[in-house]
Chains A and B, each alone.
Chain A
Amino acid sequence: MENQTRFDLNAAVENWRQELAAQPPLAPDNRRELETHLRDALAELKARGLNDEESFWLARRRVGQPQNLGEEFGKIDLAIAWRERLFWICLAFFLSSILANVTSGLAIAVSLAGARGPMTMNWVRQSLQLFLWLISSAIPLLLVVSLAKGRLTWLFLKLRPILENQQRLAIAATAGVFLSVVIRWLGTDLFYSRMNIHNNSAIVQMINPLVYQLIAGIVLVWLLPVRPSKIAQSS
């Protein structure tokens, strides 16, 4: 048959894949699943004696128009999608606030190491803190956005044991909060003792972030049943 030699099945499947990829509600995992379905249908139709082109168009019709698929997936998965988005937003917020604890503790320690009088100390400390604050907000944000988009698969695979289990996430989050708050407290305490301020305000100041971050951790754990694995399981 003339058609059969002209028709490139791989190219047709590749085109179809790209059409699917243009539908935002279809996560990489959904697309991969639909592709296995298309290939199963193709194999069955070919076994029935249809040629590549006929099999492809029939299989494609069976799976459904990419646009319709996108709409259907979007409709039913809307609640999931929102919960998932919330989870990632919450995770980014949580990680940056934890990292901010660590960096502010470190900033004080570093600025104290090189400082002489209170004035220089303040200037160095404030600019360093601003810089570290930028880093501590930007890094988790970039990290979480890449994870949510299905990139950084290696990192995701490492985090997966934690992200798939509410209990483990709760333990990890609590440990993270306490550890980072301790670092922040040590820094602040050091600062106060250098400034010759002797009171308990360093500890009191830690209550606020501690409560704040523990609540964020609880929300994070509560949002988890969403199974973020779906997003990052790209092929």
Chain B
Amino acid sequence: MLAKDLVAASSKPLVLSILAEGESYGYEILQKVRALSGGHIEWSDGMLYPVLHRLEREALIESEWKEAESGRERKYYFLSTKGKKSLAAERAQWLKVHNTLAKLWKIKPALT
């Protein structure tokens, strides 16, 4: 399980990246996160929506009620142009952190 602040910090790039693959709705986004992380990132279901709404307020994503093929209506979210740019910036930052840590941690086994 991930620490709380990491879950919060990673929610934005995760949601944006999932939506970069195509439009999706809350339930499906949660399932994808659960599956991709092998269950290590566990968001509580209801808390995803405030995150989505915040991103929508920042105009990074947009939403629309649509009928799924099952006939059930769902609120779909999709990435805006601004969101695409934000994702690129977010990605660059996360990669910097990742690369730094990777370098550090690769040194470690060499020392032991």
What is the interface of chain A, defined by CB distance below 8 A to chain B? Answer: 29-30, 32-34, 36-37, 39-41, 62-64, 68-69, 72-73, 75-77, 79-80, 225-227, 230, 233
Shortest Cβ distance from B62 into A: residue: A227
- Given known A-B contacts A33-B26, A36-B72, A63 and B53 have beta carbons under 8 A apart: no
Give a binary string over B40-64; 1 marks a CB under 8 Å from any A CB, 0 the rest: 0000111101110110110100000
Cα–Cα distance between A19 and B59 once the two chains are bound (Å): 30
Supplied contacts A36-B72, A76-B51, A227-B57, 7 more A-B pairs, CB within 8 Å:
A36-B74, A37-B26, A37-B27, A39-B72, A40-B27, A72-B46, A230-B53
Contact with B56, one of A39, A63, A72, A227 (Cβ below 8 angstroms) = A227
Do A36 and B73 form a contact, CB below 8 Å, given A76-B54, A225-B59, A233-B65? yes
A75 touches B50 (CB 8 A): yes
Residues of B within 8 A of A (CB): 25-27, 44-47, 49-51, 53-54, 56-57, 59, 65, 72-75
* Cα–Cα distance between A227 and B65 once the two chains are bound (Å): 14
Contact of B53 with A80 in the complex, beta carbons under 8 Å: yes
Among the listed B25, B47, B59, B65, which residue makes an inter-chain contact with A72, where contact means beta carbons less than 8 Å apart? B47
Assess A63 versus B46: contact at CB under 8 Å? Given A33-B26, A33-B75, A36-B72. yes
- Known A37-B26, A77-B53, A225-B59; judge A69-B74 contact (CB<8 A): no
Docked complex Cα distance between A194 and B26 (Å): 66
State whether B45 touches A41 (Cβ < 8 A).
yes
The answer, among A36, A68, A75, A227, for a CB contact under 8 Å with B46, is A68
The answer on a CB contact under 8 Å between A34 and B46 is: yes
Could you tell me if A62 and B45 are in contact, using CB atoms closer than 8 angstroms? yes
CB distance from B63 to the nearest CB of A (A): 9
Report B4 CB to chain A, min CB distance, Å: 13
Min Cβ gap B28→A in Å is 8
User: Which of A39, A40, A73 makes the CB contact (< 8 A) with B50?
Assistant: A73
Question: Are B56 and A69 interface neighbours, CB within 8 A?
Answer: no
B49 to chain A: which residues have CB within 8 Å? Answer: 30, 33-34, 37, 73
What residues of chain B lie closer than 8 Å to A30, measured between beta carbons?
A: 49, 53
Residues of chain B with a CB closer than 8 A to A79's CB: 57
- Chain B residues with Cβ below 8 Å from A227 are 56-57
Nearest CB of B to A3, in Å? 25
Could you say which residues of chain A place their CB within 8 Å of the CB of B65? 233
**In the complex, A63→B26 CA distance in Å?**
11
Looking at B49, B51, B54, the one whose CB has the most chain A CB atoms below 10 A away is B49
B11, chain A: closest CB distance, angstroms: 11
Most buried by A among B25, B27, B54, B75: B27
- Chain B residues with CB below 8 A from A73, complex form: 49-50, 53
